[in-house]
Structure 1
C-alpha cells in the first residue's frame, strides 16, 4: 500500500448481520398468499420491478418493501385484494422490523481488533430509524467512530465520508457485500474496497466484478480482514 489507512468503512446489512434472508422468507410467504391470483415467477418479477420503481419514492428498507408488496397485490388481483390480505402483508413487514439481529461470522472480533487501530465508520443505506435500531441491537455501536446512514451509495458518498472521517479516499478502505453499492463506487474515488460476498444478494445490488483492479480485494468472510490489512500496509 502506497499510504497508510486513515479510516475504514463498513456496510451493515449482510456484511455485519443477516438481512436479505428475511426479505426472501417474507417474499416466499407473499407468493403463497397471492398464489390464487398470480404465478410465482410472475409475482416475484413484478414485485422486483415495483421495488425498483419505488426506490425513488420510499428509499431502501422494509417499509418500502411492504408498500411495494401491497402495490403488487393490488395490481395482480386487479384491485380485488381485500383488507385481510393487506393486513397480512403489513403483519409480515412488522415481523421483519422486529426480527432480532444475527451477526455474521467473525464480525465482533474483527471490528474490536480494528477499532483499536483505525477510525471505523458505518456507511449504510436504508430507513434511518430502523438502521439506528439495528445498530443498537447489534451491540457494535461503540466500535464505530461515526455512522453515516444515507439514501444512496454513490462515489460522492464515499468521497465525502472518507474526507470527513479520514484523510480522503486514497487513505480509506470500504468493506461490504454489494458490488454495486459498496465496492464499485468506493473504487471509483480511489479507495481500497474489500468484497465479502453474502450467500443472498438482492438482484438490484448486482454489478460487474472489477477483476484486476489493484485496489479490489475479496474475502470469504471478515475473519481474514485484519491479515489482509497487515499485508497491504
Structure 2
C-alpha cells in the first residue's frame, strides 16, 4: 500500500455536530405548519424539497430555509400566514447561530496526527457558514489547507488532492458520509476511512464499499491505528 502522508477531513458530523440542529429545525417546521395543513408527511415533504433543490441552492442552512418556505406554501396551497413564514425565516437564521460542539476524540486525534501528517479540510456548503463553524470550532490551526466546495465528486477530490497533497495515492479521506466522503474519495484514488454518525442524513448514505483501501472506525480516536493499517 502507498504510504499515507496527507489526511483530508470532512467537517460537519465528522469533526463537529451539525445534523442534530437540522433535526431540531425540522421539528419546529412541523409544529409551525401543523395548524394549517392536514398533510400527514410534513417532514418527508420538507426533505423531498431540500433534496430537489440541491442543484439550485446547494447544501447548507440557507437552502434549507428556502426549502422550508417552499414546502410551507405547497402544503397549504399558499394559505400559510406571513407570520409563519417569518418564523420559518427566523428558524433558518437560527441554524447559523448554534454553538459548535466538536465530537469526541477530535482534538486529541488532530493533535496526535499533525506532527506526522499534512492535515487538510474538505467541506461542502455555504462558504460563510462553513468558515464561521471552522473559526468557532477552534480547530483551524491544525489544517494546512481548507477547501469549501459546492459538492463532492471524484473530480473535485482529484483536483484538491493534486493541489494540496502528494497525490491521491498518498491521501486518506476521512468522513461520516459514504456518498460524499468515502466513495468519491476512493474513486479519486485515495484511501478512505468511514466514521459513522448516528444522525447522518439519508441522502448521504450508501452501501459500504468492498475496497482494499477502505476502513471503518467507531470514532476518531481509532484513526491512527486505521491509518497504519492502510499504509501497511
- TM over 0.5: same fold? yes
Q: Structure 1, residues 47-96: CA drift from partner, whole Å, max 9, x if none? A: 11111121111110001000000000011111011111011111111111
| Superposition map of 1:218-233 within 5 A | 218-233=216-231
How many angstroms apart in 2 are the aligned matches of 1:201 and 1:3? 30
TM-score by length of 1: 0.96
CA RMSD of aligned residues (A): 1.2
Give the match's secondary structure for 1:98.
Answer: coil
Residue in 2 that maps onto 1:30: 29
Residue in 1 that maps onto 2:179: 180
Give the match's secondary structure for 2:185.
Answer: helix
Displacement after TM superposition at 1:113 (Å): 1.3
Runs of 4+ with deviation above 6 angstroms: none
Structure 1 window deviating more from structure 2 (89-98 vs 169-178): it is 89-98
Give the match's secondary structure for 2:77.
Answer: coil
Q: Structure 1, residues 25-68: CA drift from partner, whole Å, max 9, x if none? A: 11011101111234575111211111112111111000100000
Residue in 1 that maps onto 2:211: 213
How many angstroms apart in 2 are the aligned matches of 1:30 and 1:175? 32
1:106 aligns with 2:105: yes
Displacement after TM superposition at 1:166 (Å): 1.1
CA contact (8 A) 1:174 1:194 kept: yes
How many angstroms apart in 1 are the aligned matches of 2:79 and 2:215? 50
Q: Structure 1, residues 106-141: CA drift from partner, whole Å, max 9, x if none? A: 001101111111111100000000000000000000
How many angstroms apart in 2 are the aligned matches of 1:60 and 1:52? 9
How many angstroms apart in 2 are the aligned matches of 1:109 and 1:230? 17
Give the match's secondary structure for 1:97.
Answer: coil
1:166 aligns with 2:165: yes
Specify whether residues 145 and 45 from structure 1 end up closer, same or farther in structure 2 by C-alpha distance, changes over 3 A only: same
Q: Structure 1, residues 115-170: CA drift from partner, whole Å, max 9, x if none? A: 11111110000000000000000000000000000000000111111111112111
CA contact (8 A) 2:113 2:224 kept: yes
Q: In the comparison of the two structures, how many residue pairs are matched?
A: 231
Structure 2: any 5+ residue segments left out of the alignment? none
